Amino acid sequence: MSKLSHLSRLEAESIHILREVVAECERPVMLYSIGKDSSVMLHLALKAFFPAKPPFPLLHIDTTWKFRQMIEFRDLTARRLGMDLIVHVNPDGVAMGINPFVHGSALHTDIMKTQGLRQALDRHGFDAAFGGARRDEEKSRAKERVFSIRSAQHRWDPKRQRPELWRLYNARKAKGESLRVFPLSNWTELDIWQYIYHQDIPIVPLYLAAERPVVERDGALIMVDDERLPLEPGERPQLRQVRFRTLGCYPLTGAIESTADSLPAVIAEMLAARTSERHGRMIDHDAAASMEKKKQEGYF
């Protein structure tokens, strides 16, 4: 009897989770953040429902500060796959002129991302949302459930999270409540890259090294993706060979210097890497906003 590889087992488990939600929930949606984890999650959804198309739309919560290449990639992907794509921008945030420079990353993330997500879920009446979070990302994620129940106000109540045994997931909920479901819970960052490599999954080119205009701030390399980035006196963008380990709002995402311009090179570099993934994401550095707190407020 042939044994399954770890990637095959992870793949089968994720497909099982995706199908379970579609079978038991009325209106699922897939949170599509355009990053590598989203790319893998979307790829798994295509497999789970083949030859049918995944029976749910993609939802992107656009903070208006994403890299331009991300937006191009997003629209191209949806068109290529013929998937419905819902793009939601928090109109209140736009009206308030929220931006990460003036208001800080915590407030920006809360209003544009967390509040925006809640608005979109409410507006469309989605009762289950897939997210690409993984348990290996951060200490507090290690005990996150695959099916995470949220109140009608989208709050995460640690006392109400359900035990998950075997492959049995409980998708039942009261009216107004919803689920966040994480099909990639048991994947590690390395698993994601290996799977992308083996399955030849398209990713945003920003993950690969290229010459890009950056400025250095507080030890992080910030890419000057458009003219909205206010330059400090004397600050001048320099062209450097960089890539990104995670993608988010460009003013909040640090690049690393790298020459890895192919997938194997990225993986090789990652294996030798000495800095963990979320290090490059500024939102985690805001002391007041621990992951637990953000989750309780409705962040993924």
Partner 1 sequence: MNVERAQPQEDVSAWLAAQGGMELLRFIACGSVDDGKSTLIGRLLYESQMLLEDQLEALANDSRRIGTQGAELDFALLVDGLSAEREQGITIDVAYRFFATQRRKYIVADTPGHEQYTRNMVTGASTAELAIILIDARKGVLTQTRRHSYLVSLLGIRRIVLAINKMDLVDYSAQVFADIERDYREFAARIGLTDIVAIPVSALRGDNIVEPGASMPWYRGAALLQHLETVPVQDDAGAQPFRMPVQWVNRPNQDFRGFAGLIVGGSVRPGDTLRVLPSGSTSRVARIVTADGDLPLAVAGQSVTLTFQDEIDISRGDLLATAASAAGVADKFEANIVWMSEEPMLPGRPYLLKCGTRTVSAAVAQLKYKVNVNTLEELAARQLELNEIGLANLNLDQPLAFDPYSRNRDTGGFILIDRINNNTVGAGMLQAALRPAQDVHWQALDVSRANRSVQKNQQACVLWFTGLSGAGKSTIANLVEKRLFAMGRHTYLLDGDNIRHGLNRDLGFTDADRVENIRRVGEVARLMTDAGLIVLVSFISPFRSERRLARSLLGPGEFFEVYVDTPLEVAEARDPKGLYRKARAGQIRNFTGIDSPYEPPENPEIRIDTARMTAEQAAEQVIEQLRLAGVIDRDWVFFP
Residues that bind partner 1 (CB under 8 A): 1-13, 15-16, 19-20, 22-23, 46-53, 135-136, 139-140, 142-143, 158-168, 170, 172-174, 185-186, 188, 190-191, 194, 197-198, 264-265, 267-268, 271-276, 279, 292
3-state secondary structure (DSSP) of residue 211: strand
Helix 36-49 to helix 189-199 angle (10° resolution) is: 60
Alpha carbon distance 47, 41 (integer Å): 10
β 210-217/178-181 pair status: unpaired
Q: How far is the CB of 69 from partner 1 (least distance, A)?
A: 25
Give whichever of 119 and 140 is closer to partner 1, judged by the CB atom.
Answer: 140
CB of 172 to partner 1, least distance (A): 4
Q: Report the residue number, 153 or 275, with the smaller CB distance to partner 1.
A: 275
Residue 108 vs 135, nearer CB to partner 1: 135
3-class state of residue 243 by DSSP? strand
Least distance in angstroms from the C-beta of 140 to partner 1: 7
Q: Are 197 and 263 in contact (CB under 8 A)?
A: yes
Residues 63 and 116 sit within 8 Å (Cβ to Cβ): yes
- Least distance from partner 1 to the Cβ atom of residue 74, Å: 22
Other C-beta atoms closer than 10 Å to the C-beta of 299 total 21
Alpha helices in 25-151, H assignment, sequence order:
36-49, 68-81, 91-96, 100-108, 116-124
- The structure tokens 């600050």 sit at 235
Residue closer to partner 1, measured from CB, 64 or 170: 170
User: Closest approach of Cβ 99 to partner 1, in Å?
Assistant: 28
Rounded to a whole number of angstroms, the minimum distance from the CB of residue 10 to partner 1 is 7
- Token digits for 196? 């992308």
Q: Where does residue 10 rank: exposed (0-12), middle (13-18), buried (19+ CB within 10 A)?
A: buried
Q: Give the position of tokens 């949606």.
A: 29
Which is closer to partner 1, CB of 6 or CB of 228? 6
> Least distance to partner 1 from the beta carbon of 243, Å?
16
In the bound complex, what is the minimum distance in angstroms from residue 275's beta carbon to partner 1?
A: 5
Q: What is the rounded distance in angstroms from the CA atom of residue 273 to the CA atom of residue 191?
A: 15
Nearer of residues 238 and 259 to partner 1, judged by Cβ: 259
> How many other CB atoms sit within 10 Å of the CB of residue 287?
7
Nearer Cβ to partner 1 (113/134): 134
**How far apart, in Å, are the Cα atoms of 55 and each of 42, 48, 50, 69, 197?**
12, 10, 10, 27, 26
Residue closer to partner 1 (CB basis): 80 or 143: 143
